[in-house]
Amino acid sequence: MIKIFHELKLDESNTSAEFIDQTLTKIQRRQQGFYQIIDDVEMVQKIKDFAQKVEGKYKHIVVLAIGGSSLGTICLQQSLTHLYKPTSPTLHVLDNIDPAMISEIQDVIDYSKTLFIIVTKSGNTPEILAQYSYFKDQIDQKNLDAKEHFVVITDQNEGQMREIAKAEDFQTFPVPQDVGGRFSVLTSVGLLPAALIGIDIEKLLQGAKKMRDAFLSSDFDTNLPYQLAQIQFLLYKKGKNINVLMPYAQKLQRLSDWYRQLLAESIGKKFNDKKKEVYAGITPVNALGVTDQHSQSQLYNEGPNDKLIMFIEVENLGAEIKIPGLKEGTENLNGITFNKLLATEKAATQDSFTKNDRPTLTINIDEITPYTLGELFLLFEGSIAFLGEFLGINAFDQPGVELSKVLTKEYLETISA
């Protein structure tokens, strides 16, 4: 169960069932499938069948993906598997084209026991095409059957990677056209790698469906995505144009990375729906409690008052460890648990921000499980959809990113000319 705690006073006119329903209607007109794809039973079964078919066949899974195609998978891995013990098979996500990554991944994988998952929604992402080209060449040089070592997740009908998959007869999984990359973690993009390393994807989707029900509710107290978006919007209008997401759980560190793209790419827009220049945007910052109490909280307490700090606290962290007796001068730690110390530091940090008139909120979850992570994914995705409507912008396009892609192509053509 997820709860949101805050002390901000919201405008009652924007919390009525009528206003919520009107906003939901606007979202539905965008024809985005991020909250509907979780009902795709056929997709889930296809993923489960494939995972069962290849069980025990591979020692390594290497995902070739970037941005929205990779961050969700990295979050799933960090949140739902052992922090230090590798899964079987091991999962590696190559979310960059730094040649050091390309070189050094080969020091730890056995090509004959490796499955490469290529993820590109458009099918034309140059970084992913470059990665694929390199590893396909390596597979060919080793006289391995490429069909046994590549799976493609891409658009169902279009794109260069789709054409390659057809020509090579690779196993493919679709990225729905109405689901943007940064909203795709609950499609085959995130679900296939998750299933291959033993994560219960059905529980993940059950949690997402629970939050989807809240997202579609006209009751303000039930609709947590709407509540979160209202708080962000209210504070944005008051100059709080930076949002810090600070989970007090090591396993949720990569959730902040995933959310950073979701917020930045969805809300940072030059034009509103009426084609008027508005330069909307909330800058996301990821932090980790208690680590970043020591690296960031000085700025948040005494620097510009332009931030909303959003904490995530977890009631049951999966382990409880008592701190043994220490020497004189540290008696206040004797006999308490690390859990209590973590919770106490979170409370003290939050109170320090409040005393300095810095707004905060807390998202509280019972424990970190596939179910609760599914809830969190839909909480944030739904809140972004609402926030876009409050700002009067399209939260589902990314023209600024597309421009850099066009320029990259032009520059590459100049280099190769």
DSSP secondary structure string for all residues of 74-105: HHHHHHHS-SSSPPSSEEEEE-S--HHHHHHH
The verdict on 294 and 244 lying in the same domain is yes
The verdict on 81 and 152 lying in the same domain is yes
Query: What percent of the chain has pLDDT above 70?
Result: 98
Is the Cβ–Cβ distance between 334 and 268 less than 8 Å?
A: no
Asked whether residue 332 carries a pLDDT value surpassing 80, the answer given is no
Q: How does pLDDT run across 99-149, given as a tens digit for each residue? A: 999 999 999 999 999 999 999 999 899 999 999 999 999 999 999 999 999
Query: Does 409 fall in a domain?
Result: no
Q: How does pLDDT run across 340-351, given as a tens digit for each residue? A: 999 999 999 999
| Catalytic residue selected from 59, 136, 210, 405 | 405
Question: CA 275, 278, 283: angle at the middle one, nearest 5?
Answer: 130
Query: How many CA atoms does the CB half-sphere of 324 hold within 13 Å?
Result: 0
| Catalytic residue selected from 127, 265, 313, 381 | 265
Paired strand residues for 277: 271
| Catalytic residue selected from 53, 275, 294, 355 | 294
Q: What is the pTM of this model?
A: 0.96
Paired strand residues for 316: 367
Look at residue 14 in the predicted model and tell me its pLDDT. 85
Structure tokens at 249: 């759980």
CA-based radius of gyration for the chain:
22
Residue 136 a catalytic site member: no
Q: How many domains does the chain have?
A: 2
Query: Does 266 fall in a domain?
Result: yes
Residue 60 a catalytic site member: no
Asked whether residue 416 carries a pLDDT value surpassing 80, the answer given is no
Give the domain CATH number at 326: 3.40.50.10490
Asked whether residue 320 carries a pLDDT value surpassing 70, the answer given is yes
DSSP letter assigned to residue 155: E
User: 269: pLDDT confidence band, cut at 50, 70 and 90?
Assistant: very high
Lowest mean pLDDT among 2-16, 89-103, 137-151, 344-358: 2-16
Residue 294 a catalytic site member: yes
The helix or strand, by DSSP H or E, that contains position 200, with its residue range, turns out to be none
Structure tokens at 107: 């020091």
Structural domain that includes position 279:
2-31+203-400
Residue in the structure block whose two tokens are 């759980």: 249
Q: How does pLDDT run across 236-260, given as a tens digit for each residue? A: 999 999 999 999 999 999 999 999 9
Domain end call among 199, 214, 238? 199
CA-closest candidate to residue 68, choices 262, 204, 251, 267: 262
The verdict on 230 and 120 lying in the same domain is no
